[in-house]
Amino acid sequence: MLKSAFLLLFCMCAFLAQAADPLDVYPQQPEKLCAEKTTDEAWSLLDVMTMAICRNPTLKYRFLATRVSAAQYGQSLSKYFPTLNGTAALTPSIQKQKSRSSNKSTDLSAQLALNWLLLDFGARGAQAAQMQAYLEAAQSSYDSSLQQLLYDVSNGYYSVLSAQENHEGLQKSEVASKKAYEEAQSRFKLGLVPKSDVLQAETAYAQARLASAVAQKNIQLRKGALAQLLSIAPDTPFTLKMPSKKIVKENEFEDFNGLIDTAFAQRPDLKAAWHNVSAAQEAITAARSDGLPSLSATARAGVGDDLRAGDDTVYNATAGLTLNVPLFTGFQHTYKVEQAEAAYAQAQEELEQLKNTIQKEVWDAIQNYRTFYTTHQISKTLLRSAEESEKVAFASYKVGKLNILSLLDAQTQLANARIEYNTSFYNFLIAKADVLRTLGQMEQKK
């Protein structure tokens, strides 16, 4: 009966050792509301952000990195538990001597060995705290990658729309150039203008067609870049929803010091740097603890039996305490502590460097945001003026009150005004997204 109980305990220990996450250290997979979008409907910014979160391999890689750190954290916690090893052996043997019958035996033995670290002067605690800090740093790095991905998707989304509207504007310019070319031909046939008018108008028309073709190429390139972020084929046909052209600039992003405080509190890459500093600090404690004594409890229990002879089962058990005192390690411990202290100082400097970088990023993003808002407001006036100027110039050329160069110049200015208006609008939206990124608030854009 006792032998059966011993073997049952042996099997139970082997089964429990295979538990998936007994210490509950693995992070939960972020909830994703993933739904495949059809190409028949226009995609909103929220749609493409959701697709990127669900499909982008960089984000998946970062999440797997958190699981690696979680497993290392679990390993550090396991040192608080005893280790239990089991061995079992079935040994048949034959002994034979001259003029005697052979002696056969089959020995069955099993043994459990327990080792439990009881005291280590804080080494386990420091190692566990260090691994926990690395886990939190990995989780913050995942959040940082998410922030960057959302910004990149926003940038790609607006870049596609900007390229499309620029192409539409250039197509309008192409139509206007064609009209000017046809009008120059008509006036030349009537003998009202020289041949040079026709040639200059023809050149301007060809340049407009060329610019339109280049703009079409830019659309495809930017669609390909966005498709890459969404992990879909570059030739996937899709359309994007147009945002409202109404810009209402409130008194946001005005308090620079307050924005810096927000960035310091919310930037996930800064949080990761903080956690790395904490991990480096715990590494110093762990390194110092390696030079201190440790106390462990050990125990062994075994059972043995000869299955053929039917002898009584033999049981054995031992228990004791083991004190380990490191006396001399060839100066390894000294340099290990110095290495940990230098790594801690290095992590602190990296943290300060990142703070300076964040302040510069926030400052630059705010300046871009303000500048693009102003340029967009100016471009509205510029576009209205250029449209009226082109109409007047064309009407004047038809009645012979204006030469062809003035008309072509007015059309060029109108084409440039359209591009400036569209570009400044989407640059403003991208600049606003960049401000949110530098503040660690890209989720708000969703």
What whole-number percentage of the chain has pLDDT above 90? 69
> Which tens digits make up the pLDDT trace of 95-111?
666 555 666 666 778 88
Confidence at residue 246, expressed as pLDDT on a 0 to 100 scale: 81
Site of tokens 């390194």: 287
Q: Pseudo-torsion of CA 163, 168, 174, 176, nearest 10°?
A: -140
CA–CA separation, 139 and 276 (whole Å): 12
Q: Quick one: average pLDDT of 320-348? A: 93
Q: Quick one: average pLDDT of 12-25? A: 66
Confidence at residue 164, expressed as pLDDT on a 0 to 100 scale: 96
DSSP letters spanning 246-259 = -----S-S--HHHH
- The domains of the chain, with CATH numbers, are 45-84+122-292+345-445 (1.20.1600.10)
Q: Quick one: average pLDDT of 66-77? A: 93
114 pLDDT above the threshold of 50: yes
CA–CA separation, 122 and 391 (whole Å): 83
Higher model confidence: residue 291 or residue 251? Answer: 291
Q: Quick one: average pLDDT of 116-121? A: 91
Q: Counting beta carbons within 10 angstroms of the beta carbon of residue 211, is it exposed (0 to 12), middle (13 to 18) or buried (19 or more)? A: buried
Among 54, 264, 37, 25, CA closest to 146: 54
Task: Write down the pTM of the prediction.
Answer: 0.85
CA–CA separation, 295 and 255 (whole Å): 57
Confidence at residue 446, expressed as pLDDT on a 0 to 100 scale: 52
Q: How confident is the model at residue 307 (pLDDT cuts 50, 70, 90)?
A: low
* Type of residue found at 44: S
Q: Quick one: average pLDDT of 56-85? A: 92
> Which tens digits make up the pLDDT trace of 128-181?
999 999 999 999 999 999 999 999 999 999 999 999 999 999 999 999 999 999
CA–CA separation, 171 and 177 (whole Å): 10
Q: How confident is the model at residue 310 (pLDDT cuts 50, 70, 90)?
A: low
What whole-number percentage of the chain has pLDDT above 70? 88
329 pLDDT above the threshold of 90: no
Phi, psi dihedral angles at 362 (to 5 degrees): -65, -45
Q: Range with the lowest mean pLDDT among 24-33, 69-78, 350-359, 409-418? A: 24-33
Q: Report the interhelical angle of 57-77 vs 123-189 (nearest 10°).
A: 170
38 pLDDT above the threshold of 80: no
CA–CA separation, 394 and 2 (whole Å): 108
Structure tokens at 234: 């570059």
Q: How confident is the model at residue 293 (pLDDT cuts 50, 70, 90)?
A: very high
Structure tokens at 286: 């762990």
Q: Quick one: average pLDDT of 279-302? A: 92
Q: Counting beta carbons within 10 angstroms of the beta carbon of residue 204, is it exposed (0 to 12), middle (13 to 18) or buried (19 or more)? A: buried
Confidence at residue 2, expressed as pLDDT on a 0 to 100 scale: 47
Q: How confident is the model at residue 419 (pLDDT cuts 50, 70, 90)?
A: very high
Q: Where are the beta strands (DSSP E) in 258-393?
A: 294-306, 314-324
CA–CA separation, 196 and 184 (whole Å): 9
CA atoms 266, 269, 270, 274: torsion sign = positive
* Type of residue found at 43: W
